[in-house]
Structures are given as C-alpha cells and as structure tokens.
Structure 1
Amino acid sequence: MLIKDFVEKFDSQDQFSVLRNSYTQIDNAWKYKPDLSKLDGFKFNQVIISGLGGSAIGGELLVNFLRNELSVPVVVTRNYNLPPYANSKTLVIACSYSGNTEETISVFQNAIKRECPLIVLTTGGKIKSLADSSNVPVIILQDGFQPRFALGTSFFSLLKVFQTLKLASSQDNTVQSISSLWKTKSVEYTTENNTAYRIAESLIGFIPVIYSVSDFTNSVGYRLKCQFNENSKMHAFHNSFPEMNHNEIVGWENNPEGKLNPVVISILDKDYHPQIKKRFEIVLRNIIGKNWLIINLESEANEFKVRLLDLIYLCDWITFYAAILRGFDPSEIDFINKLKEKLSN
C-alpha cells in the first residue's frame, strides 16, 4: 500500500498532518511574548520543571539543548512532590498540556506552600484556574494536539521562558534554523519510501533497544523509547553510554532463543567525547553487532542544537510509521485512558 492508504486506514486523528505541520508549532510558540514581569527581581539558584509524559520531555530536551550554557542547575521531576531542597529561590515550572495532570497539580500546590516562584505552561484546565487564582504567570500552549504530538509548542515555549528570564542566551537564529529544517524534512518524510518509513519497516518483528549518551542525547533516546510505546504500541528499552558499559553490556552475553528479538538503535553525534565514540565502536561492532541488527541515527546539521531537534523529528516519524505499518492507530492510548478513568473513580 501507499503511505496515504495506510494513513487513511489506521490514522484516525490524522497525526500524519500534525507531524507534517509541526514546524508551525515552533513558529507560533516563538512569536508568543510571555509576560513574566511578576518574576522581575527574582534571583533563582535552581530550576525544577514538573511534568509527566509528553509534558515532561520538553524539560529533558531543554537540559540537553542548553547543556553548555545553563548557569543554574535544571532538573525534571515526574512525581507528586517537589524535592526537599526546593525553596523560595527555586523556580518551579509546572508543565501540563491538558492542565489536569494530577501529579503536576500536586507539585504546583506544593510549590505554593513553599513559596517557590512559579510559572505554568498549559492549554487550560484545573492548573490554569489554580494559577490564575494564585496570581501565577501562565504560558498558554497551542491547543488541539495530544501532548506527545505537541512538542513544538511545549518545548519552544519552555525555551522562550528561559530566554525571557535570561537563563539562556538569545536562541532566535537557532530556532529559525530548526523550524526551517523541520519544514524541509516534512516534505522528505511524507514521500514514498523515505528514510523514516524504511527504518520503521526494518523494525517489524523486533524490539528496539536504544542507546544514547548521558547529558548529551539521552533526551532523544528516551523520547524515541516513549514514542515507540505510545505511537507504535511497542515495547522498547533505553539506556545511555557510558553507564550501560558498566552493567547492561553483560546482558548481551545471554539471550535465550525466542525470548528477545532485539534491534539496537544508536543515537550518534559528531561532538561526542572521543572515548564515547570509541566505546560505541567497540560495543556496537565487536560485541553487539556480531549477532544483532544495528541502526545508527545521526544528524548532519552543523549546530548541535539543530542536530538534536533534527533527530527528534526523525524519531517521531519513525514511530508514526512503525504504528501504521503494523496496523495500529498512532493516536490511541487505551491503557493510559483506562488507568486515568479508574484513578478518577
């Protein structure tokens, strides 16, 4: 079948068009001028980003994206409470696309009690009402998407906050480059037999095991793992170099027949430390590569930040095609919805 036939048959909410037009999310987010005047004069000694699922990955990506210029520690929390060290000098950014994520709402309330300066990123919901009643600045995200398909609005709105608060330098030129790249790639990834489609096709019957690099591309690896889970309805596993060299590597010594059919996806970058590159070479070629299929993903863009988002966009398309090629609707998340329903009761 042609791509359009798969899309018509399995893509009930037209995520194909959402992905194709994702660059417009970037443009809209970057035009937005957040009013953060309520935080004028604050001196932050750390930033905590609260979120779950598609609302959290923007924080993880931001830590990698700004890895060479952050002047204060930035951590992402995926729980109901702030860590004990959070105080009045800790900026808390609560990210909930729907506005009704119970863990993030709990963190918001916890931050109010501790008198932490707060910012909310959302489309509405309960957390916006709480923020409005507490005089907390709210950044309104572009509505109408499932959270994991809204990375263009959630990540770039978060980045705009950091730029506005001077926690990051001006990102204008870089953001323009990323938007232009996504627009160009949107044409490439929607043609027949494109790179993302071919990779997805090669994954049929396999379980992806994804390797990235800590503090560098781990956000890409984890994003890919989660997109396989939600979009493709596949188990996938993720770990990072060099940590996996000290434990998980031994697991490749033993794989009982029929128990696991892995394909290794390695997230590569030309700026990795020379020893990291050497570790990838040894592990992939001489250990794993002797018995298992390996797929290398690497961007050729000049700037690291652009390469990071180039990989993110490719991975989103891979997982979309991995869904429809296997007969699954990339929009459906039945088990998550059932869990939320039971929790609410």
Structure 2
Amino acid sequence: MTDLDDLTKIRALDKKNALDSIKQLPQQIDQAWSESFSIDFPQNYKDTRNIAICGMGGSTYGARIIKSLYDGAQITKMPIELVNNYWLPGYVNSETLVILSSYSGNTEETIACAKEAKEKGAKIIGITSGGQLAAFLKENNYPSYIFNPVHNPSAQPRIGVGYMVMGLIGMLARLGKIPVDAAEIEKIITFLDGESTTLGENAFAETNPAKKMAIKLKDKIPVIMVADFLEGAAYAIRNPFHETAKQFALYFAIPELNHHLLEGLSYPADLKKYLYFIFFLSDIYDKRNKKRMQLTIDVVKQNNIPIETISLHGYSLLFTLPCFMKLTQAKFLG
C-alpha cells in the first residue's frame, strides 16, 4: 500500500486529479447553489403532483440523497421516485415534474426517458454539464441547470457530487418543493473549508481520520451502515469505492437490514476475515433506529467482525450530510 503521507507517490497515482476535485467540494456546492437557485421556472412547474428523477450511477447521487433526506424524513408531501431505466413509470403525465439528471449529458437511459417525458407532456427540467441532454433541454426551452464544472478538474461525474447534489437541491428549493435555508448552505461551505486541514493530504496519517480508515480498509470489504436520512448518501459513497478505489463495497440501512443481514454472517466460514463494518451514528436518527443501530453493533461484534463507529455531529439533517460525505470521500482514495 502506498504511504499515504508520500504526496509525490499519491500525485503520480492520481492521474485524473481526483484529489483536487475532492478538495473543491465546497466550491462545487457554492457554485451549484448560487446558480441553480437563481433559475426562473414557469408558475405551472410549481403546481405538479409528483416527481420522477431520471438518472444512472453517479448522476443519481443528488436524487438519492434528496429522496432519503427530504422525502424519507417526511419533510416533503409530494412523492419522489427514482427512475434507473429506459422508461418512465406509467403514472407520469402533465402533472408530473420529470427531472433529467446526467452529468455528461449522454446517458442513454436518461435520454430515452427525456423523449418519453416529452411525449407524455410532463413538466421537464434537467441538470447536466452538456452533451445530448443539454441540447435536448435547450431545443425545447426547458428550464434547467446546465453547469460549467470548473471545480471538478478530474472530469469524473462521481467526484462532481457537489454539482449534482446541490444543483438539484437548489432547483427544488426554487420550485418550492423542499425547504432550504440559504444561511445553512453558507455554514456548510464554511465547515467543509475548515475540514480540509484535518482530512487533507497534508495531514499526517497518525492524526488524519480519513487516512487511518483507508489503511484499515486495505484488503477488506467495507460495509457501510447507516439509518434513515443517510441512506442516499451511503449509496453515493459506496459507488466510488467501486469506480475509483476499484474495491468491492456494500451499504445497508437500518431498519431494513435487521430483517435479513445479520442472519447471513455465518457462511462462508472465511467471510469474516474480509469484512469491515463502518457504523455512522447520528443524534438525529429516529430514536427507534438509534436503538437498532446499537443492537446491530453488538451482534456484529459478537460475530468477531471488525467494526468502526463514526459519530456525525451535524445539528440538522442537511448539515449532517456534508460531514458524512467529506470524511468518506477522503477515505476511498486511500
């Protein structure tokens, strides 16, 4: 394993400049929020009855995070559905807000949904950096967020998460679909800027939580354990383990996992030597899920599987999210 304090070796391995993209997460959020929240939408776009968000892979990070953050926490009263295929749900009509999400703009499944949404007369908006989707949105004069990813030098969609998450939050807030306090966005940006000292590449491994975890996860299968409003964020962290670190990883959410996962820890017999469970704790979890989280930790320990517990100290649902993502984004690079 590369010495995580050897910046010369790290730069040599980081041929696509992923590290700089991660460091610019605060700038991505700042740009995406200010630009997306300034978009003007027709009044009839604010009167829709349901939302279908179309996207694949890294382009769904924003959708998944928003669904678990707002819809899952019962903050929104409007159904939000994720569409990860070539076709839309049968209920989509003129009263549906269809959001087309593709970082590159060339995701074939999303383009197929775009054409169908137009045929059904849905209210269409989009978020993309260009490609076929940008052309489609411009040609049909659909109000959208087409961004210039100046703060993602790696050009990797999965590391441009600030654009896809905050761009979507900004548009939905502008439409009045979700409540967002602009002052809280500023606090998030300030917080993330400050964390660069503790989690950055210049902080030595002996004091850097991200580097410490990266070392522990060598030759292991990370199993990310969360509850309720962090389920979407867990997906957004699991995928980069696959794509960037080339490392198999899993995520599970309480309470659903309690109905199957723990019964599957016995076989194969050598499974335990590969697993490493990471439990993310939050005071904002539902009190029933907090109890389940502790019971789950106890069961995993009883199975002699190594674990790590990480407490997230955000004072609100939205503020907890960047605490989670900044720490875990830094880890998978190790």
Work out whether the TM-score is over 0.5: yes
Would you say 1:198 and 2:209 are equivalent positions?
no
The 5-angstrom pairing of residues 164-243 of structure 1 reads 164-190=174-200, 191-193=203-205, 194-213=208-227, 215-243=228-256
- CA shift in 2, pair 1:41/1:128, >3 Å: closer
What is the rounded CA distance, in whole Å, between the counterparts of 1:57 and 1:170 in structure 2? Answer: 18
Distance 1:179 1:42 in 2: 28
Structure 1 gap segments, 5+ residues each: 322-345
Residues 238-277 of structure 1 deviation map (CA, whole Å, 9 limit, x = unaligned): 2211111111210013332268610111122112223222
The equivalent residue for 1:78 is: 84
CA contact (8 A) 1:221 1:267 kept: no
Q: How does 1:118-129 map to 2 (within 5 A)?
A: 118-129=124-135
Q: 2:164 aligns with which of 140, 147, 154?
A: 154
Deviates more, 1:32-41 or 1:262-271: 32-41
6, 9, 14: which is aligned to 1:6? 9
Q: 1:217 is paired with a residue of what secondary structure?
A: helix
Contact 1:21 1:186 in 2 (8 A): no
Structure 1 residues 181-210: Cα deviation after superposition (integer angstroms, max 9, x where no partner): 111112221112211110011111211122
* Alpha-carbon separation, structure 2, partners of 1:188 and 1:224: 19
Question: In 1, are the aligned partners of 2:199 and 2:210 still within 8 Å (CA)?
Answer: yes
> Alpha carbon RMSD of aligned pairs, Å?
1.8
The answer to whether the aligner puts 1:21 opposite 2:31 as a matched pair is no
The one-letter amino acid of 1:188's match is: T
1:12 is paired with a residue of what secondary structure?
Answer: coil
Following superposition, the deviation at residue 40 of structure 1 comes to: 4.0
Q: Which residue is equivalent to 1:51?
A: 55
Instruction: Identify the range of structure 1 (285-294 vs 247-256) with the bigger mean alpha-carbon deviation.
Output: 285-294
Q: 1:221 to 1:109 in 2, by over 3 A?
A: same
Q: CA deviation at 1:302?
A: 1.8
Whole-Å Cα distance in 2 between the matches of residues 38 and 275 of structure 1? Answer: 42
Using the TM superposition, name which of 149-158 and 65-74 deviates more. 65-74
Give the counterpart of 2:287 among 259, 274, 285: 274
How many residues align? The count is 320
Distance 1:259 1:295, change over 3 A: closer
| CA-CA distance at 1:174 after TM superposition | 1.6
SS in 1 for 2:268: coil
Q: Could you say what secondary structure the match of 1:253 adopts?
A: coil
Length-normalised TM-score, structure 2? 0.90
Asked if the contact 2:272/2:304 (under 8 Å) is kept, the reply is: no
Question: Residue type of the partner of 1:89?
Answer: E
Residue by residue, what CA displacement relative to the aligned partner does 1:277-301 show, whole Å, maximum 9, x if unpaired? 2222222123444401001222112
